[in-house]
Amino acid sequence: MKLSQIGIFLCLLFTKPAIAGTSNLPVKDEPYVVPVSVKYTLSPKWKDVRFKKIVADGDNSLFILTDAGLFRDFPGEIISKDLRYASLADKSPVDISIQEGTGYLYYLYPDRFLTNKHAGTICGYLPENRFTHMAVNANDDVLLTGEEGAVLYNRSTKVRKLNIPPGEFVRLYVSDHRFWYLSSTGIYWLNGDKWTNVYSGNNLTAIAFFSDKIAVGTTDGYCVIDRSGNTVEPKNNKLPVPAITHMLVVRGTCWFATDEGAFVKQPERFDYYASKRWLDQDKIVDMAADTDGNLYFLTPTGLNKVEFIRETLAGKAEFLQDNLRKYHLRYGFSSASRLTDPGDPTTMRLDDSDNDGLWTSFYLGSQAFRYAVTKEEKSREYVWESFEPYERLLSIHPVTGFSGRTFERTGYIAGDTIPWRPAPDQDWWWKGTTSTDEFVGYMFVTSVIDRFVAQTPEEKRRVADYFDAIMTHIITNDYYFIDYDGKPTLWGRWNPEYVNSFATTQFDRRLNSTLTIAGLQLAYRLTQKEIYKTEAFRMMQEHGYLDNMKIPMNNIRFTFGFQHQGITMGEDWNHSDDEMAFLTYWVLYNYAFNDTLKQEYAEMIRDHWKIEKPERNALWNLLAYGTSGDIDLESTIWYLRGFPKDCNRYPVRNSHRKDLEFLPKDPHTNFREQTTTELIPKIERPMNRHNNNEFLIDGGSGAHYRLTGDEFLLPYWMARYLNVIQ
């Protein structure tokens, strides 16, 4: 990316796109700029080296000052010692510098300075070990400083000895042909042979130059002055991390480095780069930028690049889909992965999950919508491939119509073993205790296959028989999932006695009623069995399920004193309920018995969508748009563009940030646990599935855990199907 494209990146990725209302539909899938992380590899023989300083020359070559000599970049994002010049290979520079204007690399050794440009003719011999820092301006002036003083070299004039300004030395800078000296208490520029003070302060740590201004960093924020020292912008310490160590201006955009990551100033906010997603460690010792506008962050142990690339949503979808199919399919289930050795990507394992059926519904659903859009036979093939494990969940055990959570070969179970039972086939085990989450997955995949994929009478019957078996089990067993032990599972419960035991202030009452009616409607449409229609209206009329479904979301609040089998409920918000509700809304609305119900459903969906808007979830927006007709278009595009292709679940932390406005943690006034007034971008938050609170700002399962990417694929292909993007 060119320097001028930084502005495009700022506008398109992290700020709200200039899109409002459905009159702008469809949104054209124009290329946009996104940051991606590139971590350089250090040869194992240099594993103990410590990095000190980085520069990028005019050819975008990277040079790193270390305690073991000069290192540089090599093809393949590799860092190793620079051995190109035999005469310098065994020497260790004291400092390195890039000449202003030319981008030429200069070296400072204990007894000389030199450059290999100009045919190697520039070389100045020095009293040994006197100078430790160097800067070179566009006039070929070379400034050297040390504890005992400074000297100025020039090709056409004699050496001039200089004093050094007072205060603890911080760094030398060059700007507009001038040399600048930063101490902990002042900023000075070299005027002839004298240092002129332009600014005095305390705990100064860094400066960065705009065209006519200087940003001044401290241990507690920064301010902006003009070149005469007058304050242009007062000190701002509402930053992600106020203790600044380095600053850099890239085409008018100011970047900051700290001991807790880096951040960049934008018109409305600061974007924060920290955690293993971006850095091998958060302590940054130096940073540099190349001529394409990419940033390089040097830590004591590694080099990390933030590269700005142009991509499209279609390109991201293709990448994530290919990655999922290569690395995340387990018997047809879409499975998150873990590394048995966290540092080795070749040790990837796919483990069983309690919610294999639910998580796979996102992938299968994405391929169903993809087929609806493209008619590509491969996507249809992928749907049937992942439908097979759903069918096997019904047949792998002897409990008629009961769907297990998951299955695995004997002896290879990764999770807890208590709910597992051997299958009649001795090579396999299956897991029971199936919940409402799984039931929602069964409903959703059934509906999208029926609507978009099943074409022949045989295919239609295959899907109908699958869901008919599940719903027959539920009705026959008084609206419970009955497990292998003959008892209802903990959460597979839709019986009126259970559902109506919840207060009207608890979402479970509304949710379980909605799941029940949606399932009965779907089963009726697929089979035309009158029992499903009769039961649905009986539940709505005799047991109040329709009224339950229409309980206003504003009525849901902290409810004390309710327990289910020893589990306290109603005192916090479970964001899995949002996930279950919105997936179910698609089925509920599109399989409604009549238009009157459909209109009532649209109103209840709209009511829930309004509560969800602050979380800016693209999938909830699109599921609402495909039913009630409501959408926050800006947030939908913002989510899709900001979703990272790197799906590792890095641990991240944002609760220390001073630039965020936090809300009180009060279950009565902030029941849905919104931590900040504004949602920060997804690449700054923990990488979670849709069942987590989007306002979680700390957390993460670890870099050795990786999601599948279908968290993006389903909303992307829904957006294509609904003509939100093209």
**Cα 643-647-652 angle, rounded to 5 deg:** 90
SS (H, E, C) 111-137: CEEEECCHHHCCEEECCCCCCCEEEEC
How many angstroms separate the CA atoms of 138 and 673, rounded? Answer: 55
Residue 665: CB partners within 8 Å, gap ≥ 6?
673, 675
| CA distances from residue 385 to 334, 449, 615 in whole angstroms, order as listed | 11, 12, 33
Structure-token pair, residue 668: 């009565």
Confidence (pLDDT) at 85? 96
Mean pLDDT of successive 10-residue stretches along the chain, which has 726 residues? 41 41 85 96 90 97 97 95 95 97 98 96 94 97 95 83 95 97 98 96 97 96 97 97 97 95 95 96 97 96 96 98 98 96 90 95 98 98 98 98 97 84 97 97 98 98 98 98 97 98 98 98 98 98 98 97 95 96 98 98 98 98 98 98 96 97 94 96 96 95 91 98 97
CB 331 within 8 A of CB 28: no
Confidence (pLDDT) at 5? 42
Confidence (pLDDT) at 22? 66
DSSP strand pairing (51-56 vs 62-66): antiparallel
Backbone dihedral region of 252: left (phi > 0), alpha (psi from -120 to 50 degrees) or beta?
Answer: left
How many angstroms separate the CA atoms of 719 and 220, rounded? Answer: 44
End-to-end Cα spacing for the chain = 25
Cis link prior to 686 (omega < 30° from 0)?
no
Q: Given CA atoms 498, 499, 503, 506 in this order, what sign does their dihedral have?
A: positive
How many angstroms separate the CA atoms of 491 and 485, rounded? Answer: 15
Confidence (pLDDT) at 364? 98
Query: Within 13 A of 153's CA, how many CA atoms are on the CB side?
Result: 18
Nearest to 78 by CA among 298, 346, 309, 302: 302
3-state secondary structure of 384: helix
Taking the domains of the chain in order of start, what are their residue ranges?
312-346+616-726
